[in-house]
Amino acid sequence: MNPAVKSFYRVYRPQNFDAVGGQEFVTKTLANQIATNKIGHAYLFCGTRGTGKTTVAKIFARAVNCEHFHDGKVCGQCAWCKSPNQNMDIFEIDAASNNGVDAVRDLVDSVKYPPVVGRYKVYIIDEVHMFSGSAFNALLKTLEEPPAHVIFILATTEPHKLLPTVQSRCLRFNFQNVALPDIIKVVQGVFKKEKLTADDAALTAIAKEGRGSVRDALSFADTVAAYCAGEPITVAKINQIVGGVDATVFARLVQQITAHDAAGVRKTVADIFAVATGADRLLTGVLDAIKDAYVTTPTPQLANTLKLFANLEPTLKYATDPHGYFETAALVACGAN
Ligand SMILES: [Zn+2]
């Protein structure tokens, strides 16, 4: 298989609640509701992009229709689980591209017809905050008294944009940004299935690029896998993709600062800017190196250096000459005692 032509996120989208990374509270509560038959008719899934809202909505839609849902999993054997026509009862609407009142009127109209295959018709509305005011008004009454065979799952990255009347009609679940170890686990699982080799440092570097989103981490993993083309995945190769600087280069810079070696500092800063892209990655790299040095030998100079670079963040983000600012901070630190 050519890793460049498929997306890990789509291929390995979790099919059961327990396979969803980092949202245990949400998935356990939903599984319990199905198991105890205490299902709501309108849910609101809130959280930043790539945290699994749509994935969990799809799992819930299948789980709630399974005749023998057990232990957090669908049975895989019942008429529903075996049906090729599940999409006749599960509807996914993207409010960003269908935000007008007509789309909602069609939806409201279809709600009254019973499900075709399963027990429930599930309407998943992505980015629901994009609905126009009149579209929301058209939805409100149905949301208030949906037919017994209908479940709405409204997903949004911006819940504050929803009318209180909409919020109050829904059971709300907040999806958390996914913690780094959970993202690492997901990436590791995908690489294992793909028979790709990556060391721990590389896995961590890929997971960090997700910044709390499994989807973003896996999209980046797609790029890395394509770039490495079957060769072992390493931090050095990842750095080539993202314009990252190897940790040893930052460690060298900190050593030169400590040794008051101004010429060395200038040279290393030039090396860093020859490859570096992105102020945040640059600062994280240098701050990590200073922190590592401080832990081994805490000195006032290192404490000052840490402050100097930490204060540089807002400047570096918008500076037209980040190299100049970065070099000045390094030289000031170099001259300090
Ligand atoms: Zn089933």
Segment 25-71, tens digit of pLDDT: 999 999 999 999 999 999 999 999 889 999 999 999 999 999 999 98
45 bridge partner residues: 155, 173
Find the mean pLDDT for residues 309-322.
86
Find the mean pLDDT for residues 221-244.
90
pLDDT of 78 > 60? The answer is yes
Alpha-carbon distance of 46 to 170, in angstroms, equals 11
More confident residue, 79 or 4: 79
- 65 C-alpha to center of ligand 1: Å? 7
**Exposure pattern of 239-262 as b/e (b: 16+ CB <10 Å)?**
beebebbeeebbbbbbebbbeeee
Q: What is the pLDDT of residue 308?
A: 94
- 28 C-alpha to center of ligand 1: Å? 18
Sequence-separated (6 or more) residues with CB below 8 Å from residue 201? 234, 235
- 218 C-alpha to center of ligand 1: Å? 29
Q: What is the pLDDT of residues 273-313, one digit of tens each?
A: 888 777 777 888 899 999 999 999 999 999 999 999 999 98
pLDDT > 90 fraction of the chain, expressed in percent and rounded: 68
Neighbours of ion ligand 1 (CB under 5 A): 66, 74-75, 78, 81
- 81 C-alpha to center of ligand 1: Å? 4
Q: What is the pLDDT of residue 205?
A: 92
- 54 C-alpha to center of ligand 1: Å? 20
Write down the pTM of the prediction. Answer: 0.77
How many of the other CB atoms lie within 10 Å of CB of 161? 12
- 77 C-alpha to center of ligand 1: Å? 5
- 76 C-alpha to center of ligand 1: Å? 5
- 7 C-alpha to center of ligand 1: Å? 27
Q: What is the pLDDT of residue 2?
A: 46
Token look-up 């980040």 returns 322
Q: What is the pLDDT of residue 244?
A: 79
pLDDT of 264 > 90? The answer is yes
Q: What is the pLDDT of residue 5?
A: 54
